[in-house]
Each structure stands twice: as structure tokens, then as C-alpha cells.
Amino acid sequence: MVSTFVLLLSTIVVIGALKFFFVVRRYFTHWKNKGIPFVPGYKNLLISWKAVLGYMTFTDLSEGMYYHHPDVKYFGGSDFTTFTIFLRDLELIKDITVKDFDHFTDHRVFIDENVEPMFGKNIFSLRGDRWREMRNTLSPSFTASKMKFMFELISRCSHDFVNYLAEHPELYSTLDTSEIFKRYTNDVIATAAFGVSVNSMEDNENEFYKKGKEIGSSSFGVPAMLRMIFLASCPRLAKLLGITFVPTATSRFFKNVVRETIRVREERNVIRPDMIHLLMQARNKDGQVHKIELDDIVSQAFNFFFAGFDLSSRLMCFVAHELAVHRDIQDRLREEIQRHLAEGNSEISYESLMRMTYMDMVVTETLRKYPPLLFIDRICVKKYELPPAAPGYKSMIVEPDDILMFPVYSLHHDPKYFPDPEKFDPERFNEENKDKVLPYYYLPFGQGPRKCIANRFVLMETKILIAHLLLKFNLKTVERTVEPIVFSKKEFILTPANGFWIGLEKRDA
């Protein structure tokens, strides 16, 4: 009996060792067998784990990968254990995001909707026909006419926010903009996506703001990334263990808010042209292949909140930082705002905001220097042939489920496309120069049909806040301001290691 047990154990060990050997062997030979330029497996592992363990920033990881093969159209690498094709060629990026989009319609999905519907059912995660249906449902929320309607709500939030600051001088001698701008974006998203009015400056601990902070504090660090990888690779085990990306109490809160909003609107016949109203209409529409349920509506509203609360506020922080550092740019922008204010009966209108060309240049350059995401991905859904990566190489067949990555940060900081890339220079996007910037190496919101659906909303809420802020205050650097910004090694999106610190100086009325 003992000999049988020993034999069985030995067999299991040998099989396990052989499987491990072949997995490791495949990891180190996969791209060599494909015949394309690649980053060696040992280097992939080394820089990936150095970033995860906090020995280097994720921007350093991006740059290390990007410049390993500076003269090729694409190269093979890996996202930890997942093989990935990194694109460097602008024509290829154009083909994959626009021209041949039907071969690359989907994003990589980290969280299974059966494990966590809050994330798995949102428009970013949906695939194929389900994504197209949801995109068609939500697109009317972000048309120019809807933006004009939303402008009044957002402008009110911006006025309340800036007026509160003006009335509380004790707040702004040294200010962490990351903290306060999240209060503004919280109020904007609450009213625009959920139809709920809150004032997070007056009511510091409102439930929306508390939930937003809970999500933001646990969503962009290395532990969150590892949790996401676990959810992606072991969804059944994650569900069995009760591991989720969003805390259960937070999911329950947003679901209850949406359910109650829908109930009140149906009972009182309330019509409010926002996201929830469009989703309510779509829920009752005939001919939809995939019926919209409560979880679908909650997921879209939550996704809007999740992205708007943190990522949008970071954009505002970076704009404020650069304006504080570059007073000449700040003064020129303020002059433009005041000029439009004088033309609009002392109020900034939607139309006047859209005509602020220098404002657009400043925000566009901020997104160039500090893109919201370092990488954007696409999943191949139909077999596709890539041209040779460089002279001497053969073409490559991309198979369904293969992952392609666009290194957004590195494209935005490539001196071939943007000379002196670390310099903050809005003139890159002036009337004379902006047509020279091809859309396929400027990708803050992605490109093609999968481009961020809410990009106009994000730009509008950012511009209106900056406009109102500059009318009331001068932005200045303080002792805790760090320039150039040093990025944190603990987060996989762009975050200053020591926070966003500026000072405000109230202007004469």
C-alpha cells in the first residue's frame, strides 16, 4: 500500500514538474517562435515585478518596454503571464482602432459579470453585440444638446464649490487639490448620473462622497491590481471566497440609490434627460436582443461615477498644478475667460466655454502630458494579419483573443511626436500646430468607436471649474509643491508621490 501511495505521489510530482517546465518554456520561447521582435521573458518579469513591488514607477515600466525596440512597428511582450503585442506604429494604431475595428471590437475584461455585475456589465467591459446595444443606448446622453442641458447643473456645482472656497480662507493657503476636487466631481456625477443633489463642501460626510473615497482609495494601487488579476484568472474561486473588487456595502448602496430613483420617477412620471432616464427607456424598448435589467442600469451609473470621481478630478489637479507653476499661462487663460465673461452678461455660458480656444489648448496639453491611462488595450475577435514589424521580419497572424496594447504615455512623451515632451506647452495645440498632431499618437480617451463615450462631459466639467476658479483666485506654488512632479511607485495611474499641493490667493472682485 505504501509503495502504491509513493508511486502515485511520484507520478503527481513528475506531472506537475513537467507542466511547470512547459509553461515556463512557453513563456520564454513564445515570441521567438512567432518570429517577431520581442522583449525577453526575463526582462518582462523583472520590470513588471519591480513596478509591482514599488521599485520603479509604472511610467518607467512603460518607457522601458517602449524603447526596447525603438525602430519597429510592434513587438511582443507580456503583461505578467499574459502575452501581449505592443504597438508603436501610427498607421497600425489607426487601422486597429478605426479602419479594421471589426477585428478588434473588445477590451480585455478583468472582472467576470457573474462574479461582480457592478463592473462586469459596464460599457467598458461589455463585448460584441451587447456593447453595441449599450453604446447606442448611452450615446444620446453625451450629444452636444445634452451637454448643453447638463452645463447648467455642472455650472451650479462649480459656482457652489468656488464660492465655498472664497468664504473659507483658512482652507486655501496650502491646499491638497486631490482632496477638494474629488468633492466637486462627486457633486457633478451625483447630479448628472443619479439625479441626486449633494454639496460635498458643506456636507463633508455625505454618503456619495464617502463611497467614492472608499472606491478610489482601493482601486488604483498595487493591491487592487493584484486583486484584479486574481479575479480575472480565478473567477470561480474568487466568487467562492467572496472576493470582489467593489466592497459589498458600496455595491448595495449604489443599487439602492438607482432602484429608489427609478421607483420615484416611475411613480411620479418624472422625466430628467440623464443617463438613468435613457436606460429606463431602453429597458422597455422592443426588439432588444439583450434585455436591460436593474443590474445593467446600476453598472452604467456606477461606472460613470467611478471614472468621474477619481480620474476626472486628477485631470483638474494636473491642470491646476501646471497653471500654478506657469503663471504666464495662467494669466493668459484668465484674460481669455474674462473676455468671454464680459461678452456674456457676466456669466460663462456653454457657448462661450466652447469658444475658449486657449482653455482648450491648456486642457489638451495637460491630457498629453498626463494621460488618464498609461496603456489602452484591444482584443482580437477575428483573425488579422499584421505587416512585418521591421525589415527582415515576416508578417504575423493575430489570433482571436490575442491582446494588443497601445502605450499611451510613451507615445505622448515620444520626442519624435512631441519635441521636448516634459515641457508643458499649450502652443502645441494652437491653430497653427494642432492639425500637425495626428489623432493616433494622441490618445487620452482612446480612438475609434471604443473611444471614451463621456470625454466631452469630462472636458466640460474640467473647463467650467477652472474658469470659475481663475476668476476668483490666483493659483500659486507653495513649499509643498513639487516640480517637476515625481510619480508614486504605489499606483498604476499617474499620481504624485507627495500629493497635489498649491496655494490660492483671492483676487479682488
Element (H, E) at 304: helix 294-306
Report how far residue 213's alpha carbon sits from residue 207's, in angstroms, rounded to the nearest whole number: 10
In terms of phi and psi (left: phi > 0; alpha: psi -120 to 50; beta: otherwise), the region of 13 is alpha
Backbone angles phi, psi at 319, to 5 degrees: -60, -50
Within 8 A by CB and 6+ apart from 18, the residues are none
Q: State the number of CA atoms in the 13 A half-sphere of 286 facing the CB.
A: 0
Strand partners, 479: none
Single-letter amino acid, residue 166: A
Cell digits of residue 411: 507615445
Contact 424, 417 (CB under 8 A): no
Q: What is the Rg, in whole angstroms, of the alpha carbon atoms belonging to the chain? A: 24
Within 8 A by CB and 6+ apart from 53, the residues are 222
Cis peptide before 70 (omega within 30 of 0): no
Backbone CA torsion sign across 76, 82, 88, 90: positive
Q: How many CB atoms lie within 10 A of CB 110?
A: 19
Do the annotations mark residue 157 as ligand-binding?
no
Q: pLDDT tens digits, the chain, 509 residues: what are they?
A: 556 766 666 667 666 666 655 556 565 677 888 888 988 877 777 887 788 778 889 899 899 889 999 999 999 988 766 889 999 999 999 999 999 999 999 988 777 777 777 777 888 888 888 888 888 888 877 888 778 878 888 899 999 999 999 998 888 788 899 889 999 998 898 888 777 788 888 887 788 888 777 776 555 556 666 676 676 667 677 777 667 777 777 788 888 888 888 888 888 887 776 777 777 777 766 656 667 788 888 888 888 887 777 888 999 999 999 999 999 999 999 999 999 887 766 788 999 999 999 999 999 999 999 999 999 999 999 999 999 999 989 999 999 999 999 999 999 999 999 999 999 999 999 988 877 777 788 999 999 999 988 899 899 999 999 999 999 999 999 999 999 999 998 887 899 998 999 999 998 76
Give start and end residues of each alpha helix (H) in 344-384. 350-354, 357-369
Report how far residue 410's alpha carbon sits from residue 200's, in angstroms, rounded to the nearest whole number: 36
Query: At CB < 8 A and 24+ separation, what contacts does 353-361 make?
Result: 353/151, 353/460, 353/463, 353/464, 353/467, 356/463, 356/467, 357/430, 357/431, 358/332, 358/333, 358/426, 359/333, 359/463, 359/466, 359/467, 360/429, 360/463, 361/426, 361/427, 361/428, 361/429, 361/430
Report how far residue 391's alpha carbon sits from residue 375's, in angstroms, rounded to the nearest whole number: 26
Q: State the number of CA atoms in the 13 A half-sphere of 123 facing the CB.
A: 25
